[in-house]
Structure 1
Amino acid sequence: MVNMKTFMIEVEALCKIFRKLVTNASLNSKALAANNAGVIAKAGSSTDGIDRSVFRELLHSTFDIVTEETLMERIFCAWEKGYEGLPIRLEGWILGLSTFLKGSQAEKTAFCFRVYDLNGDGHITKDEMFALLRNCLIKQPQEEDPDEGVKDLVEIALRKLDMDKDGKDYQEAIAEEPLLLEAFGQCLPSDRATVSFLSTLQA
């Protein structure tokens, strides 16, 4: 059972962090516009919420998520925002961090699935796996087909994660083997980063 006092302290701290991130982004945007007459800041965009660039910096510096651009973009898109492409608003910020930091295995699995389902069709296809794994292997200059190793990796992943070839077994595979949760790239914070961030909420 969650202690209500602890819960309220954490929510208030998350609200303060959100307001600080939005305010800092707004100030940076105004300073950039003032220093460069050719740059026109989008009206209201910096005060609506946390945008992609602020979110990416937060993932990298606070949650130790160091991954390629494709996954960073997918994490932003999978976050609870209400509408695609919009900045993350306060409610989405709190709901997203709830899953990110304290989510159940099922919630984290659903989040990772949304990240890896590149086209949003409810399946992680062979092509999506290939796109996600493409940059994880170092290409050797002497290789005739540099993508051959990635194709082999995709086949191994398919055998483990899609037993009946319907593209729908990700959740079942993770329930059976939780270590496969981030098989296609890091999209959740490390345990160390989670503990560190949660401790700042109590300060």
Structure 2
Amino acid sequence: MATDKQLSMAASAIALRGVRLFLSAGRNAMERRAQPAAEPAKHRPKPKPVVPGARPPQKVFDMLARTSKFNKHELEALYAMYRRLVTAAQGILPPTAIGQPPAKVDGIDQGTFRDVMHNTFDMITEEAILERIWITWDRGASGGEGALKFEAWVRGLSVLLRGTEEERRNHCFAVYDLNADGYITRDEMFVLLKNSLLKQPGDEDPDEGVRDLVELVLRKMDVDKDGRVSPEDYKDAVEQEPLLLEAFGQCLPSRRHALAFLKTLNPKPKDLRS
């Protein structure tokens, strides 16, 4: 019986993943076709050089070497990359309404963060998911507002690239828990899955298919049958079927893209930690 249950869960997870990826791919293709052509490089304004902000104290690097999964050499490479991202983003900010230079942002802004997720880690996922990933990265006492500072940049990448199974699972759950109340509810599942849906002409009730997917997920993940998925439900479901880890949208880079990124930090990077 246990084997039959595991096979049933695996089949359902594969079906869910296939439907979600199909819908997402169609929607992303439509959005790409709708986007205007990129402006030729020769007509783009050149970024203005910006003097980088103060380097964090050495004790910050020492602390991150102890608490993150990066060594000191990798942290230096991450800091150099961080400064390049901040400087490039600052250089393309428009002037203020009265013609004054834009206010300096000492950190990675949301637009730059989104570009990194898309272009570096190939996370072609729903905008709602990218928004949630941005919100869940720690930005200190600002309450989830403002730019991403160096320490938060390192801690977030530590989970994405070398996180333990528990860290990766907690990351995905936090992204899907839209109101941060500790549960993934029917309504939240509906919002997340609906964002993958590409509406076709003539569809009378496109939400019906989404509701069916929600019920399928609940049957497989709601272990205590209370109509919502708790962290314990999510943990049990993912342990039985790892494909359910990203059931509601891509929250993590693929192993291939993670390894490619790590190679830019260290000529001989350590293997990803499981």
Normalising TM by the smaller chain, what interval? 0.7 to 0.9
AA aligned opposite 1:151: R
Q: Pick from 121, 135, 140: which aligns with 1:63?
A: 121
AA aligned opposite 1:135: N
Cα distance between partner residues in 2 of 1:42 and 1:180:
44
Question: Within the alignment, does 1:73 sit opposite 2:131 as a pair?
Answer: yes
Asked which structure has the greater CA Rg, the reply is 2
Cα distance between partner residues in 2 of 1:86 and 1:139:
34
Q: Pick from 170, 176, 179: which aligns with 2:234?
A: 170
Superposed, 1:1-150 pairs within 5 Å as 7-29=71-93, 32-33=94-95, 43-44=103-104, 46-47=105-106, 49-82=107-140, 83-150=143-210
1:188 matched to which residue of 2? 252
User: In terms of mean alpha carbon deviation, does 163-172 or 113-122 score higher?
Assistant: 163-172
Cα distance between partner residues in 2 of 1:78 and 1:141:
36
Q: Is the 8 A contact 2:126 2:196 kept in 1?
A: no
User: In terms of mean alpha carbon deviation, does 173-182 or 54-63 score higher?
Assistant: 173-182
Cα distance between partner residues in 2 of 1:148 and 1:63:
33
Q: Is the 8 A contact 1:51 1:87 kept in 2?
A: yes
AA aligned opposite 1:80: D
Deviations 1:48-76 (A, max 9, x none): x1110000011000000111211110010
Find the residue that maps to 1:65 and give its secondary structure: coil
Cα distance between partner residues in 2 of 1:93 and 1:72:
15
Give 1:193 deviation, angstroms.
0.9
Q: Is the 8 A contact 1:67 1:185 kept in 2?
A: yes
Q: Is the 8 A contact 2:128 2:195 kept in 1?
A: no
Cα distance between partner residues in 2 of 1:61 and 1:149:
31
Give the alignment's TM-score, normalised by structure 1: 0.88
Cα distance between partner residues in 2 of 1:101 and 1:19:
20
Cα distance between partner residues in 2 of 1:40 and 1:98:
38
Give 1:175 deviation, angstroms.
2.1
After superposition, the Cα gap between the structure-2 partners of 1:38 and 1:133, relative to the gap in structure 1 and judged at 3 Å, is farther
Cα distance between partner residues in 2 of 1:150 and 1:116:
16
1:156 matched to which residue of 2? 216
Give 1:180 deviation, angstroms.
0.8
Find the residue that maps to 1:119 and give its secondary structure: coil
Cα distance between partner residues in 2 of 1:104 and 1:184:
20
User: In terms of mean alpha carbon deviation, does 109-118 or 7-16 score higher?
Assistant: 7-16
Give 1:39 deviation, angstroms.
6.9
- The percentage of counterpart residues that share the same residue type is 51
After superposition, the Cα gap between the structure-2 partners of 1:40 and 1:130, relative to the gap in structure 1 and judged at 3 Å, is farther
Q: Is the 8 A contact 1:112 1:182 kept in 2?
A: yes
Q: Is the 8 A contact 1:137 1:149 kept in 2?
A: no
Give 1:137 deviation, angstroms.
3.3
Cα distance between partner residues in 2 of 1:66 and 1:27:
26
Give the alignment's TM-score, normalised by structure 2: 0.66
